[in-house]
Amino acid sequence: SNLLSLHLASYGGDVATFCDQKGAQSWKVTRHNQPVHDLFPNNNVVFLSPDAPTALTAVDPDTVYVVGGIVDRTVRKSQSLAKAHGWAIRTARLPVQEHLRVKSHVLNIDTVVLALLEVHNHGDWKRAFESVLPKRLLRPDESQ
């Protein structure tokens, strides 16, 4: 199948309350109270972090990609990377710099998910980034 599924892990407390107020009950996602490392085998999981040294090369439909709800640069640099290492989960970053000249390779959650979907559907990172990255992130010579 060519379908992907979305899961919200550690879904509880204030996060669940906030999301439910935003209509989360109608979202086509599976919600879990447990953290991701209790839901899936670690060898099937890749935690995406803008600070990871390794760039993701492809999207594997058998791999669970974790897009953390932590914004590393504005909260605390490398927080998602440290969390993944603490759980013994592989890490990777999206290969933004390898395909486009950007002002920042730190992306918000929806942009990361959209890029993964584009690559899953078309297999082309550059096309994915050109399609989903906000123009404000592109360096002037890339926006033409």
Q: Show which residues are catalytic.
A: 72
Q: In sequence order, what are the residues at sequence separation of 6 or more whose Cβ sits closer than 8 angstroms to the Cβ of residue 42?
A: 87, 88, 89, 90
Question: Can you tell me whether residue 48 is helix, strand or coil?
Answer: strand
Any bridge partners for residue 55, and if so which? 93
Question: Can you tell me whether residue 4 is helix, strand or coil?
Answer: coil
Q: Are 137 and 103 a contacting pair, CB within 8 Å?
A: yes
